[in-house]
């Protein structure tokens, strides 16, 4: 009884103290908020965890960013038309719209990440304001479609600029509302004495894009081409701002900045982004692309019952044989999407911290992944051994190459600050470094090799291309053995005495590698 009784008495006193804090909070307002622990704040009836809201937002934005490929993929090219000429028309309209929409929507998504890295808890008001933001973000692709269809009509530009300005205003309201209730903010800002500075700094950064869109809307009445230039600057504004800051520091010397301004809402390429949300958004894009492939099968490759009865005597198997190339194209395309996701998953499994620049490279990779439904449509649309079929394969190789090479670029960018961004296994000199390089380089090399084969072999068909896509998984299974064999051979040739010695780097890597992945993620 002694020990259990003492425990009950302690717990009773703790409950009394927590109840006193709650009473003080109700009677005196937020001045006593700092006396309440984070666990009590999370249990407050008006606050909620933001995890589900952020997951919903990531899913919605990834869908909107990706489905804009549908108008491009479903554009029919006649057999008697040259694919190059048709592609030039697509590039000037629908493909340009898709790429611009994808980049603009992901810029809005990145801004959403940064906003909710500051505001970690939500209430009903913030949830409704976030839904208003989502409504405006999902409307942006429509404004871009108007801009592409009627490039010389300023209505599309005005609608887009109006959406962005209202979006910026809502985000500013979210910031002001969050800072008026400090228990909604992240713990680092809550304990800071510079909350007013934080609020002004974040508002200043948020309002830059709406202000630029305001000037773009004005220029649309004077010189509408300049409006498009300003909108393009919005996408790369963080890097333009950082370059101008670097030039200024070289011209007039380093301008000292307060520590607070370097923590939140900076334009530095190494500014952290939420790794979990980058993964969630990427998974959404991959899942949607894979789904779009099967939707095309369900829409176009189900025979009409009357035709099956008349032409094939009721034999469904005989009728489905005509769709053999489409099925092969589906399985090959799905294998490509799935393996690109597998490579992405393997990479981010060893990434401990993502940065703004890594996020930009990830966006470029996902933009090309979103183009895979176009590759699927083109490779089974033309007659066998035609010139258009060969060019469709080449276009597919280009899409796959850039989707893979930007994944490789993410890893290269992470290597420049590897101690902060990568697990020791895949750092330079780590035991998995060579294997990760081989895994990331496999798809770009396969795509590049296939492209050159189409230039040499005129009989290279879409069926051969899709069979190659299906066999790539076996290459991944053999990759580790090939890498180990290659490294063993190199050691045997250049370092015959190497196995007897252990470097300090290897010992340090093994010591750090004992730490679990999740404890290293910041």
pLDDT digits (tens, 9 = 90+) for 83-96: 666 666 666 667 77
Mean pLDDT computed over 223-236: 78
Residues 219 and 339 in one domain: no
Other C-beta atoms closer than 10 Å to the C-beta of 371 total 26
Residues 164 and 62 in one domain: yes
Residues 296 and 233 in one domain: no
Residues 235 and 302 in one domain: no
Residues 164 and 296 in one domain: no
Other C-beta atoms closer than 10 Å to the C-beta of 167 total 25
| pLDDT score at 342 | 93
Residues 211 and 286 in one domain: no
pLDDT in tens, 236-264: 776 677 777 777 777 776 555 544 444 55
DSSP 49: E
Residues 214 and 92 in one domain: yes
296 versus 121: which is more confidently predicted? 121
Residues 330 and 463 in one domain: yes
Confidence of residue 78 (pLDDT cuts 50, 70, 90): low
Please provide the average confidence, as pLDDT, over all residues in the chain.
Answer: 77
pLDDT in tens, 345-357: 999 998 988 888 8
Structural domain including 234 reads: 48-250
| pLDDT score at 75 | 66
Number of domains in the chain: 2
Residue 454 reports pLDDT greater than 70: yes
Rounded distance between C-alpha atoms, residue 258 and residue 13, angstroms: 43
Q: Which residues contact 248 (CB under 8 A, 6 or more apart)?
A: 255
Q: What angle do CA 61, 292, 323 make, to 5 degrees?
A: 175
Residue 21 reports pLDDT greater than 50: no
Greatest mean pLDDT among 69-83, 163-177, 384-398 lies in 163-177
pLDDT in tens, 486-499: 777 777 787 766 55
Residues 211 and 291 in one domain: no
In 197-332, DSSP assigns E strands to 272-273
Rounded distance between C-alpha atoms, residue 136 and residue 65, angstroms: 13
Structure tokens at 446: 């396969």
Residues 127 and 182 in one domain: yes
Residue 5 reports pLDDT greater than 70: no
Confidence of residue 286 (pLDDT cuts 50, 70, 90): very high
DSSP 355: E
Confidence of residue 193 (pLDDT cuts 50, 70, 90): confident
| pTM assigned to the model | 0.77
Please indicate, yes or no, if residue 1 is contained in any of the structural domains. no
Render 483-516 in DSSP notation, one character per residue: HHHHHHHHHHHH-TTGGG---HHHHHHHHHHTS-
């Amino acid at each position: 009884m002694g020990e259990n009784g003492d425990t009950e008495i302690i717990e009773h006193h703790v409950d009394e103290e927590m109840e006193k804090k709650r009473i003080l909070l109700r009677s005196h307002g937020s001045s006593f908020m700092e006396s309440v622990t984070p666990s009590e704040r999370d249990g407050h009836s008006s606050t909620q965890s933001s995890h589900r809201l952020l997951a919903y937002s990531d899913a919605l934005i990834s869908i909107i960013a990706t489905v804009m490929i549908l108008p491009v993929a479903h554009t029919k090219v006649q057999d008697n038309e040259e694919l190059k000429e048709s592609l030039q028309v697509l590039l000037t309209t629908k493909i340009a719209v898709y790429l611009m929409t994808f980049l603009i929507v992901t810029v809005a998504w990145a801004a959403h990440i940064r906003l909710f890295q500051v505001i970690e808890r939500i209430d009903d008001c913030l949830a409704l304001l976030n839904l208003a933001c989502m409504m405006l973000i999902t409307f942006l692709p429509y404004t871009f479609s108007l801009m592409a269809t009627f490039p010389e009509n300023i209505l599309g530009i005005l609608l887009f600029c109006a959406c962005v300005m209202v979006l910026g205003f809502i985000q500013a309201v979210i910031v002001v509302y969050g800072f008026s209730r400090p228990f909604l903010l992240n713990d680092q800002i809550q304990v800071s004495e510079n909350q007013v500075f934080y609020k002004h700094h974040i508002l200043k950064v948020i309002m830059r894009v709406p202000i630029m869109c305001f000037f773009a809307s004005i220029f649309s009445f004077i010189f509408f081409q300049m409006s498009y230039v300003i909108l393009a600057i919005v996408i790369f504004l963080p890097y333009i701002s950082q370059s101008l800051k670097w030039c200024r520091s070289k011209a007039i010397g380093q301008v000292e900045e307060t520590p607070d301004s370097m923590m939140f809402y900076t334009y530095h390429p190494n500014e952290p982004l939420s790794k979990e949300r980058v993964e969630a958004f990427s998974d959404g894009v991959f899942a949607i692309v894979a789904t779009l492939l099967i939707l095309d099968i369900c829409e176009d490759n189900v025979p009409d019952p009357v035709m099956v009865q008349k032409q094939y005597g009721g034999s469904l198997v005989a009728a489905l044989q005509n769709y053999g190339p489409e099925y092969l194209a589906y399985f090959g395309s799905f294998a490509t999407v799935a393996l690109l996701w597998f490579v992405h998953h393997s990479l981010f499994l060893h990434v401990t911290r993502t940065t703004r620049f890594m996020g930009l490279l990830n966006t470029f990779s996902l933009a090309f992944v979103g183009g895979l439904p176009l590759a699927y449509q083109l490779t089974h649309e033309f007659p066998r051994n035609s010139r258009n079929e060969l060019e469709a394969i080449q276009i597919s190789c280009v899409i796959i190459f850039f989707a893979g090479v930007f994944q490789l670029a993410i890893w290269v960018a992470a290597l420049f600050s590897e101690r902060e961004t990568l697990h020791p296994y895949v750092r330079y000199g780590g035991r998995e470094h060579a294997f990760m390089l081989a895994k990331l380089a496999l798809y770009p090399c396969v795509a590049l090799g296939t492209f050159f084969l189409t230039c040499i072999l005129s009989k290279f068909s879409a069926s051969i291309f899709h069979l190659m896509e299906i066999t790539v998984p076996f290459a991944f299974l053999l990759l580790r053995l090939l890498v180990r064999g290659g490294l063993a051979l190199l050691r045997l040739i250049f370092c015959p005495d190497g196995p007897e010695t252990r470097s300090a780097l290897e010992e340090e890597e093994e010591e750090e590698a004992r730490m679990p992945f999740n404890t290293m993620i910041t």
